[in-house]
Amino acid sequence: MAPTLAIPFIVLLVLLSLAILAWVFIPTFQGRAAAERAVGSHRLAIGAVLCVLILNGLLTLPIAPFLHLESGLTTSTFVIAAGATQIPMLLIVWLRLVRPGVMTWADLGLRGRPLDYVVAYGFGAGIFGLIVIQLVGTALTQVGLRPNQLEQFNFVLKEGPASFALLLLSAGIAAPFAEELFFRGFLFGTYRRTKPLWMAYGASSLMFTLLHLEPNRMNPAQMAGLSVGIFILATLLAWVYERTDSLYPGMLAHALNNATGLILFYTIGMR
């Protein structure tokens, strides 16, 4: 892009980003009625996802060059980038719903359930999800697609076990907690208050899928193939949340999925 066109484009992008942030966050300081007005709407859901992307971009600005270079990507930069996505998710949930009193943490799904209940649904859904994703991946590979999201973690094979443990904590604990709270508790949970259940499943799962694609590291075929597995997993996790009315089983299933994939990838890669 020519410099004369780049500056106005950047200014417009900044102004648009500020407008989105203001639209999403200002109602939280205007009282419960104002904060509740758009809850369960497509515009708030899309605005919240855009806020995550905007805040992630701002927080990762200092390490941006390393995120796009395979030689510069390390476990540390990856964990920072992941945290720069997870923190905005939690911030948005708190500011937009919890702080103004629209919903409590328990309303969002952070409510206790018997341990055997959580384990049964969590492990059951996690194992079922792993099987389905493996079957989908195998089928897509047969038609020429290679939906392998784990290839982005090749950098950890060059580092030690401590780096892998850090990555496992980030992807296996922090990510499931933040993402289940945002996508299932916030997006799916508010959608089902105002929209048909099928739309709550579809919209929240689509947004979960889109936020997990990385165009800078994947070709269109890989993204298309990967989207199928991610969408199925997201729908399964939403079903678990709807069935149990708690986020904890979904967090366990999500953690099992992420951790199992990483452990297998690391074990095979280190041979």
| pLDDT at 242 (0 to 100) | 96
Among residues 194, 159, 190, the alpha carbon closest in space to that of 75 is found at 159
What is the tens place of the pLDDT at every residue in 258-269? 999 888 888 877
Which long-range CB contacts under 8 A does 191-199 form with residues at least 24 apart?
191/40, 191/45, 192/242, 193/39, 193/40, 194/39, 194/40, 194/41, 195/40, 197/242
State the residue range of the domain holding 53.
3-269
| pLDDT at 149 (0 to 100) | 59
What is the tens place of the pLDDT at every residue in 226-259? 888 899 999 999 999 999 999 999 999 999 999 9
What proportion of the chain, given as a percentage, has pLDDT over 70? 87
What is the tens place of the pLDDT at every residue in 130-176? 998 888 777 777 776 665 555 667 777 777 788 888 989 999 999 99
Where do we find the tokens 């389905």?
Answer: 132
- 107 vs 153, which has greater pLDDT? 107
pTM assigned to the model: 0.90
Does 70 have pLDDT greater than 60?
no
Query: What is the token pair recorded at 77?
Result: 């930069």
How many domains does the structure of the chain reveal?
1
**Range of lowest pLDDT (25-34, 157-166, 217-226):** 217-226
Does 73 have pLDDT greater than 90?
no
Query: What is the token pair recorded at 71?
Result: 């030689």
Phi, psi torsion values for 218, nearest 5 degrees:
-130, 145
| pLDDT at 92 (0 to 100) | 96
pLDDT band at 66 (very low <50, low <70, confident <90, very high): low
Mean pLDDT for the chain? 86
CA neighbours closer than 13 Å in the CB half-sphere of residue 31: 2
